[in-house]
Structures are given as C-alpha cells and as structure tokens.
Structure 1
Amino acid sequence: MTDSARIVRRHPDELVIGLVSVSDRASAGVYEDQGLPALREWLGSALASPWQAVERLIPDERERISQALIELVDDNGCDLVLTTGGTGPARRDVTPEATLAVGTREMPGFGEQMRQISLRFVPTAILSRQVAVIRETRSHAALIVNLPGQPKAIRETLEGLKSEDGAVLAPGIFAAIPYCIDLIGGPYAETRPEVIAAFRPKSARRQARG
C-alpha cells in the first residue's frame, strides 16, 4: 500500500486517524520523535472501538504540512487528523497556517479549550496557536486538530484534568471529537470512560447491544 492509497476499513465503525508530527530536527533524524508514539499510546488507551493510524513525520514547512493533511484526508480517507508540534510563535512554527489553508470550516472551540487547560500549568499557554478545522471534499469530510508538541501536554489536552477523586476539573477536547465525527458523516467511535467519556446528546447515542 502506498502512502496515497485509500485505507480499507476492517470494520464499518473503524476510525481512520492521521497522525502528523511536525519537527525539523526529528524529521532529519537529529533526535527521536516523541509526538507520534505519544499519540499512538493515548489513542490506544482511550478508544474502545476499532481504529487504525496513518503516520507522517515532516519538517516545519508550510507546504509540506498542508500537502500531508490533504493526502491524509482526500487520498487516505482519514476521519480525524491529529498534528503535534509547530504551533508556537517561533518563525518556523507554521502548523496553524498550514492547517487553516486546507480547512473549509474553522472550529475555534478546540483551540480555546486547549489553551484553557494549559493555562492551569503555565502562563505561556497564551502563546500557543493551535487551531482545528474541518476539511470537506465532495464525498468525505474530516476533522483536523493541532495539538501541543510535548507528550504530557498532548495527554492533558486530549484527556482533560481530573482531581484525585476523579472529578473533572477541565474537560479534554477528545470528549467532543466522536460526536463531531458523527456530524460530518464519519464512523461511530466509542471511548473508554475511565480515560475520557465521549459526550453525545441522548438522541445521538446508540442503544447498548445485548
């Protein structure tokens, strides 16, 4: 299978996820990438329904990032694309611009919530420029979300923050992602509630089997 081949779903509800790590040095082999392993590990712990991933490790180059996102959605048929890295104010940080360039609709709530979570730890969270968009083609649509670059921050923004007794202090953004994918025509994804409870209105929930 080539990188541009459409992914074959092994189950009707299988979620196809594009994972993109943006880093000049990691893509050049200067150091080992941490973003892709962190994303794989978290998704493996959080998703209760079937999924498979298509991965890219690319440098901080706007055209390369945009092209990767287009290929993952249009050619590979990803339902969700998660990027990590390249969202700060440095001049080489161009992931948000590359993402906005390929989106057909912006989803500002994701970036707002990610910054709210990070602000609980560092005041420099306001320097983060993560965005989220929907990319639509004639027959397919996908949600694309920029995540932070550090594994700890990736987990916190996806999963949210909980107190020692398990109470939710700040909702993670992944709680809204399965329903968003429903609304744009993607598969019905389910999560493990002990990690992150996906929220859907009652009218959108499937009846429990058995």
Structure 2
Amino acid sequence: MSEFAFTIGILTLSDKGARGEREDLSGQVIREMIAPIGKVTHYKVVPDDLDTIVETLVEWVDRDEVDLILTTGGTGLSPRDVTPEATARILDWEIPGMAEAMRVASMQKTPHAMLSRAKVGVRRRSMVINLPGSPKGVRENLEVVMPALGHGLSKLKGDPSDCAQ
C-alpha cells in the first residue's frame, strides 16, 4: 500500500473547541496515528450540534468522497453527546464488530467504556468511525481498529483480491 493510499477526515465535536476555548489534542493524536494509511485532507472542529455534524459528514462523503472519517467526541451520555445519532442518520450500514472491539478493549481499562455509544459504519464507499473525546481514549480505541482499517478500506474501494490467505 502506498504511503498516502486513503484520504482521511478528522471531525472533532466539541462546544469548547469550536469556541476556541480548548485545544484539539484528540485530533492531533488521530493525525499522528493515522499517517501510515493515508493523508488527512479534511479537518474541522464543530460544536456538538446534530445538524452541523450530519451536514459535515454528508458533505465530506457525498461531495468530497473522503475515504475515512474519524470523529472524536460526543459518544457518551451527556445531553450534548449526539455524535452517534448524527452518524446513524448518514450511514448506509454499520460495522458493529469494530465498535464492539473498541468497547471490549476499553472495558479492560475502565468500566466507563460500557457507556460508549460509538458507531462505526459505511456511507457509500466511505467509512466513519466514532472515537472518544479524550486523547487517551482516542489512542486506545484507534489502536484496536488500526490492524483492520487498511483491509476494510481497500475492500470498500473495490479491491477484488480474496480475503483468505
């Protein structure tokens, strides 16, 4: 796989971040970790607003054809945590195994992981992955799915090779 095989979007959901009151450390962690599989072509910090999140996801997938969108924030139980709902509205189908794997691995570190409502799925030929809002949570969850990302994205893009080796 070439160095910049996939286009990647990082969408940070944070009311404080959108107002400039908080530095986006989670987005930085994503950028560093994802570098081996692609190039970040889209980056945005928006408030925890359902319509804004939906509009951004649809624009990045339908207009810009971004291969992978990683969201950070808004996956918990706070009233403003609407990332899973926004993601569910735009997905054609879910990839439950990836979200389940992140929760299982995280639960070995904290019981609070069972409160995550993160979703992973596909719209058209783009994958969307919801990650937690903390840099530590982002790192731990992204480490879980990284081994399968390249293969999954290649298949979404039409790779005809057999999966079995």
**TM-score computed with the length of structure 1 as normaliser:** 0.72
2-side partners of 1:143 and 1:186: how far apart? 13
Partner secondary structure for residue 57 of structure 1: strand
2:116 alignment partner in structure 1: 128
- 2: CA distance, partners of 1:12 / 1:151: 24
Q: What's the % identity of the aligned pairs?
A: 36
Q: Whose RCO is larger (CA < 8 A, sep 6+)? A: 2
Counterparts of 2:123 and 2:11, CA distance in 1: 16
More helix by share: 2
Aligned residue for 1:97? 85
Deviations 1:136-172 (A, max 9, x none): 1xxxx1000001111112111121xxxxxxxxxxxx1
Return 5+ residue gaps in structure 1 as ranges. 1-10, 160-171, 188-199, 203-210
The number of aligned residues is 161
Give 1:42's aligned amino acid: M
Runs of 4+ in 1 over 2 A off after TM superposition: 11-14, 49-53
CA contact (8 A) 2:10 2:40 kept: no
Equivalent position of 1:196 in the other structure: none
TM (norm. structure 2) is 0.90
Kindly report the root-mean-square deviation, in angstroms, between the aligned alpha carbons of the 2 structures.
1.9
Instruction: Establish whether residue 175 from structure 1 lines up as the match of residue 147 from structure 2.
Output: yes
User: In the superposition, relative to structure 1, how do residues 104 and 64 fare at CA in structure 2: closer, same or farther (>3 Å)?
Assistant: same
When Rg is computed on C-alpha atoms for both structures, the one with the higher figure is 1
Distance 1:93 1:116 in 2: 21
- Which structure 2 residue ranges, 5 or more long, are not aligned? none
